[in-house]
Amino acid sequence: MLLDGKTVLITGVLTPASIAFSCARIAQEQGATVVLTSFGRVRSLTERSAKRLPNPAEVIELDVSSEDDLAALAGNLSATYPQIDGVVHAIGFAPADCLGHPDGLFGATWPDVATTLQVSAWSLPALAGALRPLLVPGSSIVGLDFDATVTWPAYDWMGVAKAALESASRYTARDLGPTGVRVNLVAAGPIRTMAAKSIPGFADIESSWRERAPLGWDVDDPEPAAKAVVALLSDWFPATTGEIVHVDGGVHAIGAAAPTPPPA
Return the active site residues.
Answer: 155, 162
Q: Choose among 150, 194, 176: nearest CA to 242.
A: 176
Strand 33-38 versus strand 58-61 pairing type: parallel
Count of beta carbons in the 10 Å neighbourhood of residue 262? 5
Among 148, 143, 152, smallest CA distance to 206 is for 152
Amino acid of residue 242: G
Q: What is the DSSP string of 156-169?
A: HHHHHHHHHHHHHH
Question: Which are the contacts of 112, defined by CB distance < 8 A and separation ≥ 6?
Answer: 94, 95, 97, 98, 157
CB atoms closer than 10 angstroms to residue 189: 26
Measured CA to CA, the distance from residue 236 to residue 240 in angstroms comes to 9
Residue 172's closest CA among 130, 213, 233?
A: 130
